[in-house]
Amino acid sequence: MPLLPRLAAALLLAISPTLLTGQPAPRVSTAPVPPELLEQTWSAQWIAPADAPARAYGVYHFRKHIDLPAAPERFVVHISADNRYRIFVNGTPVHIGPARGELRHWRFDSLDLAPFLQAGPNVLAAQVWNFGEHAPIAQQSGRTAFILQGDGETEAIANTDASWTTFTNPAYSPLGDMGAHLWTYIVVGPGDEVDASRYPWGWADPTFDDSAWTPAQTLHHGKPRGISTHGVWLLVPRQIPLMESRPLRLQTVRRTTGVDTSDAFLRGDAPLTVPPHTTATVLLDQGEHTTGYPQLNVSGGADSQVRLTYAESLYEGEDHPSSTVKGDRNAIEGKHLRGFFDIYHPDGAADRTFRPLRWRTWRYLQLDIETGDDALTLNDLTAEFTAYPLREHAAFLSPDDELAQIWDIAWRTMRTGTHEIFTDSAYYEQLSYVGDTRIEALVSLWIDGDDRLMRKAIEAFDNSRDPNGLTASRWPDSGIQIIPPYSLVWVSMVHDYWMLRQDDAFVRARLGGVREVLRYFAEHSDPATGSYTGRQWWNYIDWIPAWGRDAVTGLGGVPPRDGRGTSAIIDLQHVYTLQQAAELFAAFGFEHDAASCRERAAALRAWVETTCWNEARGLIADTPEHQTFSQHANSYYILTGDASDPRLKAVAERMLAEDDLAQATFYFSFYSHAALARVGLGDRYLDQLEPWHDVLAQGLTTVPERPGPDSRSDSHAWGAHPMLGLLNTVLGITPAEPGFASVRIAPHLGALPHAAGKVPHPRGDIEVAYERVGAHGLRARIILPAGLHGRFEWRGQTVDLRPGEQQINL
């Protein structure tokens, strides 16, 4: 078979090895929200445990008995809680929610519980917890509370009110201050310490005796956003699908002390018994970075303790704050484990299962076990994988096996880093930062085609806006952190969405926020030059050690500025954003705004060029003082200039050749790579992936926060952008018009002799397959979905593209 048909056929099998085998197990189906539920006060009331502190740490249980004349075909309820809930029906766990949000837009879930109900008596039960002062930074909270609203008359029997009963679970204690334990910044909430002897086992089962439980305290009726002048939680529907859930098993026993075991234990084939008066350690290896709920089932072991410690990797040397080097992530010899942990105290009974309240992140999981007079049997250790249900619809094929591995680790980085929000790091922060989120949102659209989480993120940052006009740098956030350049990135996110989706109403609604961001920069810039001189807040750009610490915040990542506050990097990012904003305003008929943006952008870029262009080096300096140079300033200089200007290509060549420039990290290289492609150096793109090749050599299964052996985070979602580069630059697939109304395909294969791939488009898949012919020729097979036209470009030649399949020989 000729090469092109073989490549095309291979696309059917082009999905990289999946994170897990098997299909996700749906737990419950979602249901639409009736309009009237958003237009009136709910009949259900928010309820809380009687006499429990409103905002302190606590884990609580709620129960409601209902009788049904027949098993229902439909039983839709709308549920929310603060902080979180886990709902059970007749003892079966159904769902965990609500989707993470903030008080002014508090999410509720709409679920059909009919498959779990039966004729006669039924029990609805909910576990609700409030992490109080130990809560994750991303968790906002009003007070401990739970609400369930029936969809109609049939379901109204389940509405929350004083007929629900409650119980405060005394078994739980928070393991807080993980930052002090790990000697680093970690803000994902507490570990769980659970005393099984105080746990109300079977509390969710229909046969459980809840006669001693107390009636719930009623607070006030549920209030949808916009219908009341008062309400702690302004309720809005969930925007995103339910999280993926599927079984997961650890793979390998890597090290033991005090006890012998084998991989048979991890397969569920051989329980592990720890004798009385024994101290044992078992180090387990998942084989790859993952996120989920570990579930440890034990019997016996009264007065024993099991500590579960989760780590992305092990550290070299002694356990000390100075020990930050991880080296080869596959190696364990001479290394120690330091990580987030839970503690479980068995009660001596059989068949007890520990499961943490919140999902955990790990590659390595260590069990540290201490037994008393009673032997402890570990019957099984499993996990339930959880993440946003992204699917790998896009594909990239080439003869380079390492590119396939880079694709794989980038995808795993996205999978484990994407939950109810896009997160920067699944292990340390679980926060949605604008800079990270722009890249993650683009990956999600290009690989999966699902735009729901991107819409939620854009809208959430818009809602986070401070009166000064800036968005929060990360949202949701229980505090407030502002990075002015990240507000510029948010405008770029709106522009990205506009280019990739035909959704005029959504984009138009964001233009007010775009104006506010640009207003802030106008008000904090030199009136004569347009240069941004604002010193307030954290003006972060990239983690460059040579830049030192900012005098205002004491934090790193802020670029060099001269005495007046001028930074060519920030100014050129401002120009980049003004140019995108001008396109947005013009598209929606706001020509005055568009003209203002164009004028400001042109004047500011001209001023930067006048003051920061260094003729001797042929580069833009970081400041008018010409003391430092960076890939950052020169990338934005290229991205904001006329792509046909030959000087820009020369700048790009020097940017690559001169190693005394501050080098872009995993994060900012998203922009430096785009700059190369913009001036016709796309064939150099694959050469820029050396840091990702190094990641493979270090045994990592995800992309770390930064290069080197001592990166704090082993999985940072901003490092997933090579998936975009392989599709947009190597395969050359990009939107030619807003809304992806047409496509431009301009491949840059570098040294690859052939390549193929596909990307999801709102109209269907775009498929391409290329084969080099001689030094300059190309054979291509292109398939466009119905209704999509475009153009194909190769070395100055252009071919019009039509829907369907076409063969091109150039």
CATH classification at residue 802: 2.60.420.10
Are residues 212 and 311 both part of a single domain? no
Query: What's the pTM value of the predicted model, to 2 decimals?
Result: 0.96
Task: Name the helix (H) or strand (E) containing 221.
Answer: strand 217-221
Separation of CA 585 from chain center = 29
Report the alpha-carbon distance of residue 520 to residue 574 in Å, rounded: 11
Question: CATH number for the domain including 134?
Answer: 2.60.120.260
* Full 3-state SS string of 473-532: CECCCCCCCCCHHHHHHHHHHHHHHHHHCCCHHHHHHHHHHHHHHHHHHHHCECCCCCCE
Which of these, 499, 482, 489, lies nearest to 457 by C-alpha position? Answer: 489
pLDDT digits (tens, 9 = 90+) for 135-175: 999 999 999 999 999 999 999 999 999 999 999 999 999 99
Read out DSSP for 335-381?
EE---EEEEEE--S-SSEEE--SS-EEEEEEEEEEE--SS-EEEEEE
pLDDT recorded at residue 199: 98
205 and 282, same domain (yes or no): no
CA angle centred on 735, ends 730 and 740, rounded to 5°: 145
Q: For the CA atoms of 308, 314, 317, 319, what is the dihedral angle to 10 degrees?
A: -30
Dump pLDDT digits (tens) for 673-683: 999 999 999 99
Q: What gap in Å lies between CA 447 and CA 445, rounded to an integer?
A: 6
Do 158 and 69 share a structural domain?
Answer: yes
For residue range 629-669, list pLDDT tens digits in order.
999 999 999 999 999 999 999 999 999 999 899 999 999 99
In order of 80, 600, 634, 644, 659, the CA distances from 653 in angstroms are: 55, 28, 11, 15, 12
- Both 51 and 64 in one domain: the answer is yes
* Cα–Cα distance measured from residue 386 to residue 365, given in angstroms and rounded to the nearest whole number: 17
Which band of pLDDT confidence, cut at 50, 70 and 90, is reported for residue 6?
Answer: low
Q: What pLDDT band is residue 322 in, cutting at 50, 70 and 90?
A: confident
205 and 341 housed in the same domain: no
Classify the C-alpha dihedral 738-739-743-744 as positive or negative: positive
Same domain, 223 and 303: no
Query: In sequence order, which ranges of 698-787 are alpha helices (DSSP H)?
Result: 722-725
Q: Note the pLDDT of residue 16.
A: 37
Q: What is the dihedral of CA 153, 155, 161, 166, to 10 degrees?
A: 170
Q: According to the model, what pLDDT value does residue 15 have?
A: 39
Pair 162, 210 in one domain: yes
Per the CB < 8 A criterion, the answer to whether 801 and 791 are in contact is yes
User: pLDDT digit string (tens) for 597-627?
Assistant: 999 999 999 999 999 999 999 999 999 999 9
With tokens 């770029």, the residue in question is: 492
Cα–Cα distance between 46 and 224 in angstroms, integer? 12
- The tally of domains found in the chain comes to 3
Q: How far is CA 193 from the centre of its chain?
A: 27
Query: Is residue 3 pLDDT above 70, yes or no?
Result: no
Can you point out the beta strands (E) in 113-209? 120-130, 145-150, 165-168, 172-175, 191-195
Q: Answer whether residue 36 is part of any domain.
A: yes
The residue-averaged pLDDT of 387-409 equals 98
- How far apart are the C-alpha atoms of 131 and 291, rounded to whole Å? 20
- Asked if residue 321 belongs to a domain, the reply is yes
pLDDT of residue 10 exceeding 60, the answer is no
Q: In 3-state terms, what secondary structure has residue 163? A: coil
DSSP-derived pairing of the beta strands 106-112 and 234-237: parallel
Structural domain for 763, as ranges = 1-18+392-399+721-810
Surface-to-core class of residue 505, CB atoms within 10 Å of its CB (0-12 exposed, 13-18 middle, 19+ buried):
exposed
> Span 359-365, mean pLDDT?
98
Burial of 803 (0-12, 13-18, 19+ CB in 10 A): middle
Same domain, 232 and 293: no
pLDDT tens track for 79-98: 999 999 999 999 999 999 99
Between strands 352-354 and 340-345, the pairing is unpaired
Residue range 543-556: average pLDDT?
92
Among 213, 242, 271, which residue terminates a domain? 242
Distance in angstroms (rounded) separating the CA atoms of residues 771 and 226: 57
For residue 410, is it within any domain? no
CA dihedral of 582, 583, 585, 591, whole degrees rounded to 10: 70
On the CB side of 274, CA atoms within 13 Å amount to 30
189, 212, 242 - which closes a domain: 242
In this structure, the answer to whether residues 238 and 304 fall within a common structural domain is no
Are residues 91 and 105 both part of a single domain?
yes
SS3 307: strand
pLDDT tens per residue across span 186-205? 999 999 999 999 999 999 99
- Write the pLDDT tens digit of every residue in 169-189: 999 999 999 999 999 999 999
Same domain, 7 and 51: no
Within a domain: 639: no
Give the pLDDT score at 5.
58
Q: What is the mean pLDDT of residues 686-709?
A: 95
Predicted confidence (pLDDT) at residue 9 exceeds the cutoff of 60: no
Q: Once rounded to an integer, what is the mean pLDDT over residues 92-119?
A: 97
Q: Check pLDDT > 50 for residue 22.
A: no
Whole-number percent of the chain with pLDDT over 70: 97
Residues 129 and 5 occupy one common structural domain: no
pLDDT score of 296: 98
The answer on pLDDT for 383 being more than 50 is yes
pLDDT of residue 13: 46
Extended strands (E) in 530-612? none
Which residues lie below 8 Å from residue 505, measured CB to CB, with a gap of 6+?
A: none
**pLDDT band, residue 14 (cuts 50/70/90):** very low
DSSP symbol at 598: H
Spatial separation of the C-alpha atoms in residues 757 and 730, rounded to whole Å: 10
Residue 267: inside a domain, yes or no?
yes
Sign of the alpha-carbon dihedral angle for 393, 398, 399, 400: negative
> Of 365, 387, 409, which residue sits at a domain end?
387
- Predicted confidence at residue 442, as pLDDT, reads 98
Q: Is residue 666 part of a domain?
A: no
Say what the alpha-carbon torsion angle 163, 164, 167, 168 is, to the nearest 10 degrees: -110
| Confidence label for 371 from pLDDT (cuts 50, 70 and 90) | very high
pLDDT at residue 23, as a whole number = 43
Terminal-to-terminal C-alpha distance of the chain: 21
Q: What is the pLDDT of residue 321?
A: 85
> How far is 2 from 6, CA to CA, in rounded Å?
6
